[in-house]
Amino acid sequence: MASRKINISELTPYTKIRIHEQGERTYQETQEIIYRLYIQTLRKPTTLIISIIQPLLWLIMFGALFQNAPIYLFENYNIEYQDFLNSGIIIFTAFNSAVNAGLTIVFDREFGFLNKILISPIANKNSIMYACITHTWTITMIQVLGIASIKYCDYKIYRSINLIHLLISLIVISTIITTVSNVSIYGAFILPGHIEFIGLTSLFLNLPTLFTSTALAPLSFMPRWLQFLCCINPLTYGIEIIRSINLDSSFAMKKQIINTSLMPINGYSALTILLIINTASFFLVKTIIQYKYDKN
């Protein structure tokens, strides 16, 4: 009896069904892990308070120290230092909160809960990463919007909110949050324990990242070697976009936000750099998860 040749197209519906089922399971798994992370956050509200106090403590004290020092950031603008500093407060709050995104994974590894998740019939181990990023983004955006609202109320002259500028600001802040969260999650998977993780984030990342950005001072105040470090720091691009939007109501993305001999950059270029770094960090985390837990 002659065997019938199977047409590949006959298997297509089943393939689509399997892909749909896997996508639905990944969504459900991510949703459950997010729900668990929210419960942990509600049980430890001090974590939220500390993540807000630390950047405010550094940046507000600098603002008080240089309160009477005017900074000519743009040609036609004479601004107070506190106005210059506001954008740094917003971005560094996002960074400070997102840098701890992988801490829950570290503790889950140490207490054995991560092993229970991995040996369970989980459809996609990347759902751990999706859940951590989503949880961190939600909590961090609440903090950032709260600080931004306070800073907006401090303005002596109230301006109407430009929806396009607001959308650009949300995209920039979201990109910073997801990029830093990806780096934090990557560190959570490769570092031995929470002592090394906290040492890396608190001692090695926080202060160097703050001082090698334009959060505290413009590029024109820095030596060339520090300008170079600032130009390779992603926070600089986020800070400069937010700062230009806050100080210039007619700001357009085609305007230059970084004008140095090293690399003059406009808003579009800065946003493109942030998105590229964000995409690279996302695939970096997926690669380490696949290498360590998804070899089959």
* pLDDT tens-digit readout, 267-291: 888 888 899 998 988 888 888 877 7
pLDDT, residue 71, reads 62
pLDDT at 21: 60
CA distances from 118 to 107, 111, 125, 269, 292 (A): 15, 14, 7, 40, 11
Name the H helices within the chain.
12-43, 46-65, 81-98, 103-111, 113-119, 127-154, 163-190, 194-198, 206-211, 224-231, 234-247, 267-293
Dihedral class, residue 100 (left if φ above 0, else alpha if ψ from -120 to 50, else beta): alpha
Residue 111's pLDDT is what? 81
Q: Is residue 7 assigned to a domain? A: no
Classify residue 184: in a domain, yes or no.
yes
Hey, what are 266's tokens?
């406009």
Global model pTM greater than 0.75: yes
Nearest alpha-carbon partner for 239 in 173, 142, 160, 141? 173
Place of tokens 């030596």: 223
Tell me, what's the pLDDT at 35? Answer: 86
Give residue 127's pLDDT.
79
CB atoms within 10 A of CB 127: 22
Residue 147 CB partners (closer than 8 Å, separation 6+): 52, 56, 89, 90, 93
The number of domains in the chain is 1
More confident residue, 219 or 173: 173
In a domain, 10, yes or no: no
Which pLDDT belongs to residue 156?
A: 54
CB 178 within 8 A of CB 137: yes
The residue with greater pLDDT, 47 or 256, is 256
Classify residue 248: in a domain, yes or no: yes
For residues 213 and 234, give the distance between their C-alpha atoms in angstroms, rounded to a whole number.
Answer: 8
Q: Which helix (H) or strand (E) holds 257?
A: strand 256-258
Asked if the structure places residue 271 within a domain, the reply is yes
Q: How confident is the model at residue 77 (pLDDT cuts 50, 70, 90)?
A: low
Range of the domain at 240: 28-293
Tell me: the pLDDT tens digits for 78-105?
677 777 888 888 888 888 888 888 888 8
Identify the band that residue 296 occupies on the pLDDT scale cut at 50, 70 and 90.
very low
* Residue 173: closest CA among 259, 228, 234, 129: 234
Q: What is the pLDDT of residues 136-178, one digit of tens each?
A: 898 888 888 877 777 666 655 556 677 888 888 899 999 999 9
In a domain, 210, yes or no: yes
Q: Among 5-9, 196-200, 223-227, 291-295, where is mean pLDDT lowest?
A: 5-9
Query: For position 218, what pLDDT does the model report?
Result: 82
Judge whether 19 lies within some domain. no
Instruction: Identify whether the C-beta of residue 67 lies closer than 8 Å to the C-beta of residue 81.
Output: yes
Is residue 123 pLDDT above 50, yes or no? yes
In a domain, 40, yes or no: yes
